[in-house]
A and B are shown apart, each in its own frame.
Chain A
């Protein structure tokens, strides 16, 4: 036995072996909340190098682990107890699954002889979460723990990343561990693609060469693969314009002249115009989500479609591409860069420039303070360098439009799942992962109230997160739909009864700021961003602002609305 191999230790518990496994994987933080079935795990954390961050609700724990993972590229870890503790984590697990985020969720469970007998706080969490995990384990042998931990981290972080759940009966964590901590993985059914087919990459380079109006579509996969720099080199070499999905933001610098910003339902008009006009669209790490395609039959008519993805199941799922390449976005982009040459896109870029001038993103201060003004000022105050997280709804779309992102890891938003309550806890997780950097959560008054209990977590741990609450006293996105498509029959959207957010922050010992006027916006934001500790900025904005441009659900980019329509619109047919 080599010196490195730890000796089996009869006095070690399963939980202690598990924590040793986490330490070996470089875990710095565990976001969690204990309960009876998880006590052996928390006991093993006592005195560990890993810092336990006590949350106030398990949804927060999973979002923090998620924010940490997105901000660092490392695996985030959450620890919850059995039953309701575990079910509270489901939303966060599903959020991570939809956006391909590597998290490991450890759940306490009743003792194994009681499984299936309706024991106190027993929930079949492996069963409940099966459709929303990349993989899961129910531990049945104490000595399998080191192998399971190793496999869980490997599965969560490789290929197309995703959440892995480990269900840990209390007798497995409290019982004596007698095995070896140096376990081998046993995953005969797991592999993931790498380089991509070279012949196809050469073919793609030829297709670019023949294209007069090429467009690069950058998705989250490119960000996850760390392909940012290669994509920049690729776009610049070919002089090819680039558009990004919500989660692809920053996969290419949005401040770059070749950037068209975000496309899709609330994307920029010029990105959506580019979709209707391009003759080739090459997606790198995007899954042609319905927020982008709207209507498949009318999506990029006449354009050659190329799909690059690490997940073979994404090919042909939504779009039938003319060419598909399966593999790692970075490796494929690197190879592609060797084969492409500068393209004559001068006319194409001129056309897009015309759209940019003609249909810019804009807003007006005439009716008072708007969310767009707050976010635009925030962008300038922070010089576009902050790590920004968002919640879900109107503010999210405005943030996507007006907070230009130059680095993928600086933009954290719940895309696929659209989970309200995500923004604030994910910012806390991101701040733990990126100490010393400015982390700003842009949240709405609706979503913030779903997880605001984590103000305590930020305060106690002195995490200097800045929370900008965009308060329009409505569940604004639904209100917008009701106004546009349902005769303004506002139903279940009025957030009457919102608290005084500044006082709320102060009640947790967090500094509060208030903005309600255009002319004070920038200076208050400046003060707040300079505040050394956590801060909440309550921005009271006009109540009835709408997000434009807008492509109605189920429609293609040809049906984009740039301004508020004067006449009543038909109800959308697409998914939500």
Chain B
């Protein structure tokens, strides 16, 4: 594994103030940059799920996972890849629209299963759900027509089969 590989961590934590800081400190102290982070309560409101993607040296990541697991408020933390899990991300894309491009933008959006969620004469907001790669693809495509702004949720991940994440 290269130090530029992106790793995805899934962390189940107690739903309490300060937990995010404790987890983030473990990364920061070891010079690891968090690329994306999603936190929300799970079906039992006592707990929250954090899904973190980060780039860096895998040996440092091993240490980070162990140190995160040691935090009292962390129930468990582990790294997953997409071979045994599904992952999704949502992006909102604000695109400049001219009469000549309108049709082609809508065609791309339809092909990529993106939805138009807001529209004016000049602007359109697309909501796009998919894998990180699919989101990247549509984003790159839209830069041709004038991409004004992108907001992405960051990756969500869930294990396939009976096993819980």
Q: Which residues of A contact B (CB under 8 A)?
A: 126-127, 130-131, 134-135, 138, 155, 187-190, 311-313, 316-317
Contacts and interface: CB of A to CB of B under 8 A. Distances in A.
Given A189-B13, A312-B66, A316-B62, A138 B18 contact: yes
27 contacts: A126-B18, A127-B21, A130-B18, A130-B22, A130-B25, A131-B25, A131-B29, A134-B72, A135-B71, A135-B72, A135-B73, A138-B17, A155-B72, A187-B72, A188-B14, A189-B71, A189-B73, A189-B75, A190-B72, A311-B70, A312-B66, A312-B69, A312-B70, A313-B70, A316-B59, A316-B63, A317-B63
A126 B18 CA distance: 9
Interface string B39-60: 0000000000000000000010
A130 B21 contact: yes
Which of B17, B29, B66, B74: most chain A CB closer than 10 A?
B66
Q: Which of under 10, 10 to 19, 20 to 34, or 35 or more describes the interface residues of B?
A: 20 to 34
Given A127-B21, A189-B14, A313 B75 contact: no
Nearest to B13: A189
Contacts, number: 41
Contact of A313 (B17, B29, B59, B66): B66
Contacts of A130: 18, 21-22, 25
Contacts of B74: 189
A104 to B, nearest CB: 14
B3 interface: no
A313 B14 contact: no
A36 B78 CA distance: 44
Interface string B2-25: 000000000001100110011001
Interface in B68-84: 69-76
A407 to B, nearest CB: 29
A187 B13 CA distance: 11
Q: Which 7 residue pairs spanning A and B have beta carbons closest together? A: A313-B66, A135-B72, A189-B75, A190-B72, A189-B74, A313-B67, A131-B25
Contacts of A187: 72
Contacts of A316: 59, 62-63
Which of A155, A190, A311: most chain B CB closer than 10 A?
A190
B17 to A, nearest CB: 8
Which of B18, B63, B71, B72: most chain A CB closer than 10 A?
B72
A187 B75 CA distance: 9
Interface of B: 13-14, 17-18, 21-22, 25, 29, 59, 62-63, 66-67, 69-76
Nearest to B75: A189
Nearest to B26: A131
Nearest to B77: A189
Contacts of B21: 127, 130
Nearest to B67: A313
A132 to B, nearest CB: 10
A190 B18 CA distance: 17
A188 B18 CA distance: 17
A313 B63 contact: yes
Given A312-B70, A313-B70, 12 more contacts: A126-B18, A127-B21, A130-B18, A130-B25, A138-B18, A189-B13, A189-B73, A189-B75, A189-B76, A190-B72, A311-B70, A313-B66
A554 to B, nearest CB: 20
A190 B73 CA distance: 8
Contacts of A131: 25, 29
Contacts of A313: 63, 66-67, 69-70
Given A130-B21, A130-B25, A188 B70 contact: no
B72 A189 contact: yes
Contacts of A135: 71-73
B16 to A, nearest CB: 10
Contacts of B22: 130
Nearest to B64: A313
Nearest to A320: B59
A67 to B, nearest CB: 25
A97 to B, nearest CB: 12
A127 B18 CA distance: 8
Contacts of B75: 188-189
A134 B25 CA distance: 13
Which of B62, B70, B73, B75: most chain A CB closer than 10 A?
B70
B24 to A, nearest CB: 10
B41 to A, nearest CB: 15
A134 B17 CA distance: 17
Nearest to B73: A189
Contacts of B66: 312-313
Nearest to B28: A131
A360 B80 CA distance: 54
Nearest to B62: A316
B151 to A, nearest CB: 28
A190 B72 CA distance: 5
A158 to B, nearest CB: 11
Nearest to B65: A313
Contacts of B72: 134-135, 155, 187, 189-190
Contacts of B67: 313
Contacts of A155: 72
Nearest to A159: B70
Nearest to B21: A130
Nearest to A190: B72
A185 B63 CA distance: 28
Which of A135, A189, A316: most chain B CB closer than 10 A?
A189
A188 B12 CA distance: 11
Contacts of B29: 131
A67 B70 CA distance: 25
Contacts of B62: 316
A575 to B, nearest CB: 15
A130 B14 CA distance: 16
A135 B29 CA distance: 17
Contacts of B59: 316
B69 to A, nearest CB: 7
Contacts of B71: 135, 189
A312 B65 CA distance: 11
A250 to B, nearest CB: 27
B76 to A, nearest CB: 8
A44 to B, nearest CB: 26
Nearest to A187: B72
Contacts of A188: 14, 75
A311 B73 CA distance: 17
A313 B66 CA distance: 5
A338 to B, nearest CB: 30
